[in-house]
């Protein structure tokens, strides 16, 4: 009897300990408590996770692949599943792709079969990539490699990331897939998922300099109307997503007229265009022979720009007509060699250089700008200089000089960006194949919170990478056409603990808030109402002399993330060089207010600004005691009408 009682006690204890870790794959140690481990962003218990793949909803269940597999009922709590991909000869890697549910058995693999369509990639980038399929007849638990693969092969080394969806208007499957090295998205169609016919291609617009990857094509509702528009998402490596709004007729995606005009010619840019060089250099005095008609730069607007040849020993400069500074900022697209004083654009006042910017050692034009509030009313001039003798990156290129009260110093190409932070890539949307349940016009999306510049260098011992929060997207109309608005998933509110709330705060200097979470797992809502022109913001991850700064300057309408001194991981100088930077986003006050909704999760921050009109996502790797939160104001008092905060529970224990 005594031994039987002891056995019962042991079994009860064992079942309790086991139950704690059966949500997902049971780890040998409690990995979710390790340093930097996200508490409410999905990642597998171990290993690598990158681009989200195969996002489908079927049988009342959301699926997420990478090509691991996880399922969810609400996009908040996830259950990791066994590795599903079977039957390959292991000679290739499973690159990104999608999953469809064949509800009508168009493929002949069986009604409700799930077909994964993905890229077969051989090591070394020496053999062509091709699109292949694997088939599941058990709701995605296992996918068996199709023996007649590939289903689409155009004999290109780079040809990847198919997103496949059902188009009910013509009852055909559609595929958008990338030829990344030439910045081209191709569209195909199929009756059976096995034989594909070319329809059209999309290229030549937006940011065109780096690999185009992970395309998606879907409809989004226009907020406040009954309209929908088609949207194409394209990942611009190594860490950005751009979007295009237009129409899709089943064969061809055509950007809207406003979208095309903004991206091609800059129509709708906030401010006054001082010079676009469409009429040549008629308003500029030219010295030397450096500036010629040769165009080596990309992502310029219109049909012309000012560019030097970069030929060895060829030097010179362009000098603008004088003008009076009438705005708070001067913005311009800039490319060329990184040689301060010798390949640069300068602003001169009284014969002296008062502002200067050089290139970044690329031929890709990116937005740069100066805050010139202190020079308003002054007579100044510009000069574009190439006095660098070398041929290699000894050139300079400038386009679209704009006078504005909004500083556009993002150092990004001219494009519609989905996220202005440095760690958001490969966004894809969920497709609903559940005929019994409709989400109406709601579109759920998710991305990879990573950056290929340093993805393999991050200091996480439990694996690499995690997914963003699921987001809901819609469209609103603005001066440059339709723009995407993003909101965090409403169901995340079920993770909230006790609310902390303060109203009508007045901040002068720097002040820690009384909400002090035990760990960096919380949600924060804050509204700022400036009464004058001084900068303000908040500091996160405060502790041990470190912090991440979110600073807003109302004079030039710019939000800056500063992570120069935010992480405790400093031993790898190559990582620090790539990670410790500032990032800028243009952001206008709405009705005189700046509203931020912020999600902090151990090693990440996602900031939804002014009801999701601008979003910034960034990773960070702080110490476990860097949990402080501060509000600050520089040079005056800032009003904070509302501040709310909630600790957020972990998703790794569904019974919490």
Q: Any idea which residues carry the catalytic annotation?
A: 51
Question: How is residue 71 written in tokens?
Answer: 């399922």
Contact 112, 125 (CB under 8 A): no
Separation CA 578–CA 201 (nearest Å):
34
Cβ neighbours of residue 644 under 8 Å, at least 6 residues apart?
Answer: 499, 500, 501, 524, 525, 526
Question: What are the residues whose beta carbons fall under 8 Å from the beta carbon of 189, sequence distance 6 or more?
Answer: 167, 170, 172, 173, 174, 175, 196, 197, 199, 250, 251
Q: How many helices (H) and strands (E) does the chain have?
A: 3, 44
Helix (H) or strand (E) holding 644: strand 628-647
Q: Quick check: 265 and 295 in contact, CB under 8 A?
A: no
Dist CA 602 CA 382 (whole Å): 46
**Tokens for 135?**
């088939």
Contact assessment for residue 281 and residue 265, using Cβ atoms and an 8 Å cutoff: no
Are the C-beta atoms of 291 and 307 separated by less than 8 Å? yes
Give backbone dihedrals phi and psi of 539, rounded to 5 degrees, phi first: -110, 130
Residues in the chain: 656
Would you tell me how many other CB atoms lie within 10 Å of the CB of residue 203? Answer: 14
Separation CA 2–CA 25 (nearest Å) = 35
Strands 85-86 and 143-145: parallel
Cβ proximity of 579 and 458 under 8 Å: no
Measured CA to CA in angstroms, residue 578 lies from 14, 223, 573, 582 at distances of 46, 38, 9, 11
Strands (E), 536-578: 536-543, 546-553, 558-562
Q: Are 227 and 221 in contact (CB under 8 A)?
A: yes
Separation in Å, CA 188 to CA 127, 195, 198, 342: 22, 10, 4, 48
Token duo for residue 178? 């990338």
DSSP 180: G
Give kind and range of the element (H or E) at residue 198: strand 197-203
Give the DSSP per-residue string, 283-325. Answer: TEEEEES-EES----BS-STT--EEE---TT--EEEEEPPEE-
Other C-beta atoms closer than 10 Å to the C-beta of 336 total 30
Pairing type for strands 352-358 and 160-167 reads unpaired
Q: How far apart are CA 624 and CA 579, in angstroms?
A: 19
Q: Which residues contact 430 (CB under 8 A, 6 or more apart)?
A: 55, 56, 57, 62, 443, 444, 445, 446
């Amino acid at each position: 009897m005594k031994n039987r009682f002891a056995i019962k006690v042991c079994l009860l204890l064992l079942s309790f300990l086991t139950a704690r870790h059966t949500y997902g794959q049971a780890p040998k140690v409690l990995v979710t408590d390790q340093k930097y481990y996200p508490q409410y962003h999905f990642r597998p218990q171990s290993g690598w996770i990158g681009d989200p793949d195969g996002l489908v909803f079927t049988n009342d269940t959301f699926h997420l692949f990478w090509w691991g597999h996880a399922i969810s009922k609400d996009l908040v709590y996830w259950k990791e599943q066994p590795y599903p991909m079977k039957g390959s000869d292991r000679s290739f890697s499973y690159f990104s792709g999608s999953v469809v549910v064949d509800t009508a058995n168009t493929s002949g693999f069986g009604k409700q079969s799930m077909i994964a369509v993905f890229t077969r990639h051989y090591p070394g980038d020496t053999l062509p990539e091709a699109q292949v399929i694997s088939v599941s007849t058990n709701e995605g638990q296992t996918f068996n490699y199709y023996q007649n693969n590939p289903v689409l092969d155009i004999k290109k080394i780079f040809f990847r990331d198919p997103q496949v969806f059902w188009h009910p208007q013509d009852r055909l499957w559609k595929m958008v897939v990338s030829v990344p090295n030439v910045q081209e998205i191709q569209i195909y169609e199929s009756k059976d998922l096995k034989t594909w016919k070319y329809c059209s291609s999309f290229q030549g617009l937006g940011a065109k300099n780096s690999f185009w990857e992970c395309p998606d094509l879907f409809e989004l509702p226009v907020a406040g109307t009954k309209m929908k528009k088609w949207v194409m998402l394209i990942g611009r490596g190594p860490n950005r997503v751009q979007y295009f709004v237009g129409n899709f007729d089943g064969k061809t995606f055509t950007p809207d007229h406003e979208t095309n005009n903004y991206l091609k010619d800059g129509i709708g840019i906030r401010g006054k265009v001082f010079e676009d060089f469409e009429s040549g250099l008629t308003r500029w005095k030219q010295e030397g022979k450096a500036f010629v008609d040769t165009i080596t730069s990309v992502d310029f607007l219109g049909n012309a720009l000012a560019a030097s040849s970069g030929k060895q020993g060829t030097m010179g400069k362009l000098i603008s007509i004088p003008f009076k500074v009438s705005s708070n900022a001067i913005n311009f697209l800039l490319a060329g060699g990184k040689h301060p004083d010798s390949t640069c654009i300068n602003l001169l006042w009284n014969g002296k250089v008062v502002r200067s910017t050089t290139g970044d050692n690329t031929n890709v034009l990116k937005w740069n700008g100066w805050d010139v509030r202190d020079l308003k009313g002054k007579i100044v001039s510009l000069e574009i200089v190439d006095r660098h003798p070398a041929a290699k990156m000894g050139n300079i290129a400038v386009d679209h000089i704009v006078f504005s009260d909004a500083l556009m110093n993002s150092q990004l190409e001219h494009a519609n960006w989905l996220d202005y932070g440095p760690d958001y890539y490969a966004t894809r949307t969920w497709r609903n194949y559940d005929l019994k349940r409709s989400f109406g016009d709601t579109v759920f999306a998710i991305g990879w919170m990573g950056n290929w510049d340093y993805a393999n260098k991050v200091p996480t011992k439990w694996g690499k990478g995690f997914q963003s929060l699921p987001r809901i997207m819609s469209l609103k109309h603005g001066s440059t056409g339709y723009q995407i608005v993003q909101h965090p998933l409403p169901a995340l509110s079920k993770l909230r603990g006790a609310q902390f709330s303060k109203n009508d705060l007045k901040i002068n200097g720097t002040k820690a808030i009384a909400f002090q979470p035990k760990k960096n797992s919380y949600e924060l809502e804050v509204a700022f109402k400036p009464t004058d022109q001084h900068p303000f913001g908040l500091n996160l991850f405060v502790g041990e002399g470190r912090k991440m700064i979110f600073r807003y300057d109302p004079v030039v309408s710019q939000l800056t993330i500063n992570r120069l001194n935010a992480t405790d991981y400093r031993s790898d100088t190559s990582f620090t060089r790539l990670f410790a930077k500032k990032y800028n986003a243009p952001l206008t006050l709405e009705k005189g207010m700046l509203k931020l909704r912020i999600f902090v999760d151990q090693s990440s921050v996602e900031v939804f600004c002014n009801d999701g009109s601008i979003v910034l996502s960034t990773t960070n790797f702080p110490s476990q005691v860097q949990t402080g939160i501060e509000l600050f104001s520089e040079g005056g008092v800032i009003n904070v009408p509302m501040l709310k905060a909630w600790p957020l529970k972990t998703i790794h224990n569904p019974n919490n």
